[in-house]
Chain A
Amino acid sequence: MASGMQAANLTLLRRLLLLVLLMFGFAWGLVPLYRVICEVTGLNRVVVADAMPGRDAAQIAARPVLLQLDAMVQPGLPWQVRPLQSRLQVKTGQFIQLQYELRNNSRQQVVGQAIPRYLPAEAAAYVKKLECFCFRQQLFQPGETRRFPVVLVIDRALPAAIDSITLSYSVFDVPQGEGRP
């Protein structure tokens, strides 16, 4: 093979290797890019300050809704979480008070953050929480058990197709010394 051809081959080889490096970097670049996109679009914003039910909503008649309560813990985490009632027959527009019991099963001090989820997901916009342990991180001593009140109102504008809502909390571990106090 002519040496001129060899040089051309090596130039192309270097360019392609550079492309490989760039694409490897791109994979890592997707991590901050993903975060930025989620922030800009608000896709991952799970805790949003609720407004009080709208004024025109007050004109809609209250109707009965079945509220089911649930909780789950990621495998390997020390929490035990349970609602004190598993289901409630409630009315839209009514102030509802319920209680959750959280227990730290480990021998360490842990900080937890609860994330609420709603089923069906479109019900999320109509459940207005006024008080919730999910609003802030909670510090637990080893073996500590605490009960938390949750106060919420279901907006009367709730679509007629929804006659039962499941509220489920997942509790995550917050590594100590990270995140907001």
Chain B
Amino acid sequence: MAIAGLAAVPQQSHRPHGWRRWLFATNHKDIGSLYLWFAFCMFLVGGVLALCIRAELFRPGLQFFQPELFNQLTTLHGLIMVFGAIMPAFTGLANWMLPLMIGAPDMAFARMNNWSFWLLPPAMALLLLSFVVPGGAAAAGWTLYAPLSVQLGMGMDLTIFAIHILGVSSIMGAINIVVTIINLRAPGMGMMKMPMFAWASLITAYLIIAVMPVLAGAVTMVLTDRHFGTHFFNAAGGGDPILYQHVFWFFGHPEVYIMALPAFGIVSQVIPTFARKPLFGYTSMVYATSSIGVLSFMVWAHHMFVTGMPATAQLFFMYATMLIAVPTGVKVFNWIATMWEGSMSFETPMLFAIGFILLFTIGGLSGVTLSVAAVDVQLHGSYYVVAHFHYVLVAGALFSLFSAVYYWFPKMTGKMYSERLGRLHFWWSLLWFNVTFFPMHFLGLAGMPRRIPDYALQFTQFNQIASVGAFMFGLGQLIFLVNILYSLRHGKTAAQQPWEGGNTLEWRLPTPAPYHSFSEAPQLDVAENGVVVAMQGGKHG
């Protein structure tokens, strides 16, 4: 049976070399590394697009790009960062760390895992290729709103196919994560004991399985509207463009949490380690994460307050959205309570985690502001929204990813990263991130709209500050690359336990983690948040 082939686990001793090791990769660590490197490359590509945008916006008037190309840049920046950088990076981390943290030999479906990664490069190639087809890339914004997406050139078709492929890839990745966590935990690793990172990945994976098919449906409708004579979104044919927004945001809002929940998971591992205290309120963390997952399905129309919804619907979505601030507040409270009276040390992962809490909370607060329907009418489609979601996605998702890479780098590679470069990277990113995105709040409040290549003169100064910040922030990410490349070669050999406070299962493994770990499951005695009290057995092949 074809489906059974997916589950076949390769010979334990088998370790291919050269390009075969990567193209035919079935080892979760290899696939995790592929994901992470791919995500970093896409982060650089999306970053270059962002810098193009900021270069154009440095001065009013048109300098470098015509409006058509500018719209393509904003659209592709969004799509690449969401689907090419952040989501694959989280999937990569889950691939790398989950089996180590819950005592599984590998991911449940090793060959499917290979497919979920190798679908990504062709999808991203399609997206980037669309820049050179007649009419250029998709230019409807990352949300691909109809009727614009129905009218654009063939770049839009390439984008639709790319999204289909990305959807299949992330669904397969998510299924793998769910099955691994549900079925492959080592004896003793109970559900209400496992690390928060595993919980966050599990709920994220369920969200992906539930909403990526909805996005696939939405873009398929756009495709049939474009080529097969349907009128789902074409008002002239009896369709309704507002319908697209409903279908899209039914996907889009849970997608926001797909990019945020794993970050919560990472921070919930890092903070206890460097505060040398167990995570405060583990059970409430689990329930908070789950309720954020459930609530995320009920708030989609807060993206659509200006579409002419009845006041009752606006009120419902407004209060439902504000409700999400409660479980999120529980999390922030718990992280701070974990640090309270802890004996903290501030290595790079901890710095990024604290930076995350600070800036993510600012992004969350501007989110609560936007959730007020009456205020949103003024701020909708303005730079305030841009500031808001960059605070939660850059300072949220991205900072947590940096934190995770620094945190687990010794376990993955057996080398220590350079602490000096790491701290420089953090302070540099923190400073220039705020220089870039904080002025955008003011721009939005003053009325500057999103997605425009030119603006009124009174917005010039804040835009110049933001552009300088963006280029410096971008430059700072090269510090990270240099640190990783240098440390891979010349880094100091890492101890099995590089962090004094690290007490989850992955720190019980030798460093670097053996190619095949836990080929025989260990017998565990585990406390909350995956803290290993005692371990017996557990072989690495």
- A interface residue numbers (CB < 8 A to B): 1, 5-6, 8-10, 12-14, 16-17, 19-21, 23-24, 26-28, 30-31, 34, 38, 41, 43-44, 74-75, 77, 121, 172-173, 175, 178-179
Contacts and interface: CB of A to CB of B under 8 A. Distances in A.
Contacts of B238: 178-179
Q: Secondary structure at chain B's binding surface: helix, strand, loop or mixed? A: helix
A60 B261 CA distance: 59
A13 B236 contact: no
A24 B7 contact: no
B409 to A, nearest CB: 29
B235 interface: yes
B116 to A, nearest CB: 13
Question: What 8 pairs across the A-B complex have the smallest Cβ distances?
Answer: A27-B217, A24-B213, A23-B213, A27-B214, A172-B236, A16-B175, A9-B108, A12-B179
Nearest to A43: B310
B216 A24 contact: yes
Given A12-B183, A173-B236, A75 B151 contact: yes
A30 B250 contact: yes
Contacts of A75: 151
A154 B61 CA distance: 44
B14 to A, nearest CB: 15
A38 B182 CA distance: 41
A20 B209 contact: yes
Interface in B231-259: 232, 235-238, 240, 243, 246-247, 250
Contacts of A23: 209-211, 213-214
12 contacts: A12-B179, A12-B182, A16-B178, A16-B209, A19-B209, A21-B213, A27-B250, A30-B247, A31-B243, A74-B235, A172-B236, A178-B238
A63 B256 CA distance: 51
A107 to B, nearest CB: 19
Q: In the complex, which of the residues A19, A23, A28 has the most CB atoms of chain B within 10 Å of its own CB atom? A: A23
B213 A10 contact: no
B344 interface: no
Contacts, number: 89
A12 B175 CA distance: 9
A9 B151 contact: no
B183 A9 contact: yes
B218 interface: yes
A19 to B, nearest CB: 6
A8 B183 contact: yes
Given A30-B243, A31-B243, A34-B243, A20 B178 contact: no
A23 B237 CA distance: 26
Interface in B193-226: 209-218, 221
Most buried by A among B218, B232, B236, B250: B236
Contacts of B221: 27-28, 31
Contacts of A6: 4, 7
Contacts of B218: 27
A172 B250 contact: no
B105 A1 contact: yes
Bin the interface of chain B by size.
Answer: 35 or more
B175 A17 contact: yes
B109 interface: yes
Contacts of B178: 12, 16
A30 B108 CA distance: 33
Given A44-B240, A172-B235, A20 B182 contact: no
Given A13-B109, A27-B213, A31-B243, 16 more contacts: A1-B7, A5-B184, A6-B4, A10-B4, A13-B3, A16-B175, A20-B212, A23-B210, A24-B214, A24-B216, A27-B250, A28-B217, A30-B243, A30-B247, A77-B236, A179-B238
Contacts of B215: 27
Contacts of A20: 171, 209, 212-213
A34 B240 contact: yes
Contact of B175 (A5, A13, A28): A13
A28 B221 CA distance: 8
A43 B243 CA distance: 12
Contacts of B236: 74, 77, 172-173
Given A24-B217, A172-B236, A30 B4 contact: no
Contacts of B232: 31
A8 to B, nearest CB: 5
B243 A5 contact: no
B383 to A, nearest CB: 26
Contacts of B310: 41, 43
Interface in B241-288: 243, 246-247, 250
Given A9-B109, A13-B3, A41-B310, A27 B175 contact: no
Contacts of A9: 7, 108-109, 179, 183
Contacts of A172: 235-236
B9 interface: yes
Given A1-B105, A9-B183, A10-B4, A27 B216 contact: yes
B105 A27 contact: no
A51 to B, nearest CB: 22
A23 B247 CA distance: 11
Contacts of B7: 1, 6, 9-10
A38 B109 CA distance: 44
A34 B218 CA distance: 14
A34 B246 contact: yes
Nearest to A173: B236
B191 to A, nearest CB: 14
Residue from B3, B175, B218 with most neighbouring chain A CB atoms (10 Å): B175
Contacts of A175: 237
Nearest to B234: A74
Contacts of B210: 19, 23
